[in-house]
Amino acid sequence: MKQISAIIDQLDTALAGEWPDAPGIRQLSYSLQKQPDTGLLEWLSAQPCYPKFYWQQRDGHEEAAVCGDCCSFGDMQRAQEFIRQHQDISDLHIWGLNAFNGADSSDVPANALFLPRIELCRLGNTYWLRCTLFSAVSLHEEAHRTRLFLRSLVASRALPPITSRVVQHQHLPAEPQWNQLITRALKSIEQQRFDKVVLARKTTLTLSQPLNACAFLAASRAVNHHCYHFMLAFTPQQAFLGSSPERLFLRDHTELFTEALAGTVANHSDNQKAHELGEWLLSDGKNQRENLLVVDDICQRLQGGAHSLDVMPAEILRLRKVQHLRRSIHGELTDADDAGCLQRLQPTAAVAGLPRQAARKFIAEHEPFDRQWYAGSAGYLSNEQSEFTVALRSAAVKGHHLELFAGAGIVAGSDAAQEWQEIENKAAGLRTLLEEHYTPVVQAG
């Protein structure tokens, strides 16, 4: 990427100039005259600095690779306040993750959301590089730190092949425990403690060698279409990534776009059979009820924060392994409040249940693992526009281990075996990327 190297040189020259020995924030942007020789994910993978975040919008029109943090935020409210305090810098973007249970878990890294030093971005066929300096003490010192940071950046290189071999896998809960969990959930529904609860499974794959997170995400991106693709790498050995079909919300000034994605059936490689499965899903009462529960909950939660809500008719979203029912929802916000949108919409009924607090209580008491980032959200916020995807079809890379997550909505009439098959299908979106390297063993646990 000679263009990027030339821009880095220009940046270094600019940073070598006079900078005030006082607090402040500055941003420098440079357009790339042509498309880079390699992709943004390849460039990000090569960089030795952390944290680093990758984002591609599900229509493929918007993409970003960002790294280095000049400021980090423990929650959305603080990130939003920072942007509002610096509205004179129009292109401030804060990127990252929001945990399912918020940022109050000691196991969750603090820099879930961060203002990056360097952003390499694409909108359609237009590329640019953005550098941000921020210091609460001295911009002069920050310019010096940023010059040192720029010197750590390296040229892009091809992603390594995926050679990690699966040597063992463990489900948590395993299928017998899953069946017991569903029985307990159905009993609670019968006792009217809640109408729906979304229960999840974590599958831990033990690998023959550490997995390159960027290479794994690239493999997912190549086959899992119509999805948001995201990754936050904390260290060379630790990352959280996913290819999620679901938008949590898009805010464009005060316009809000969200959706209810609930109701699932398998996909099929034969288009006619896939169509028949989709038609069944559109007419199935259980799946329609599940979707409409989510629609009603979203509309209720937006009361007081948005008006003129429009709900679109149900449609089929066809993915690689499954098909979903989706209803899009559009409204006008009373205030451009991203923290408020997050508080109202996360977690949705599609990943937690209804009523939300009762379902979350059941999950906390009975699900045998901490979801952390799974079923939280990933994306960015800025002054004019913000967008977050629900962190589904996701995985945590932890050295020699890969944790895969998938969930299913449990309502009256749910069948444990069918729900187990549903989470198998959902997890397959990422699991099958490693199947050619899988060595069968007796399942642990």
Token representation of residue 342? 């997050």
**Can you tell me whether residue 386 is helix, strand or coil?**
strand
Count CA atoms closer than 13 A to 357's CA, side-chain side: 3
Residue 302 has what DSSP assignment? T
In this structure, are residues 404 and 262 in contact, taking their beta carbons and an 8 Å threshold? Answer: no
d(CA 186, CA 427): 23
Nearest CA among 63, 75, 70 for reference residue 86:
70
DSSP codes, 95-128: EEEE-TT-S--TTS-S-SEEEEEEEEEEETTEEE
> Out of 52, 196, 202, 321, which one is annotated catalytic?
196
Which residues are bridge partners to 92 per DSSP? none
196 an active-site residue?
yes
Residue 22 has what DSSP assignment? S
**173 prior amide bond cis, ω within 30:** yes
> Out of 246, 259, 419, 424, which one is annotated catalytic?
246
d(CA 406, CA 393): 6
Which residues are bridge partners to 24 per DSSP? 135
Query: What are the residues whose beta carbons fall under 8 Å from the beta carbon of 8, sequence distance 6 or more?
Result: 150, 153
190 is annotated as contributing to ligand binding: no
255 is annotated as contributing to ligand binding: no
18 an active-site residue?
no
d(CA 173, CA 163): 28
Three-state SS string over 29-50 comes to EEEECCCCCCCHHHHHHHCCCC
Which residues line the annotated binding site for Mg(2+)?
290, 422
Tell me which residues are annotated as active site.
Answer: 196, 246
Which residues line the annotated binding site?
290, 422
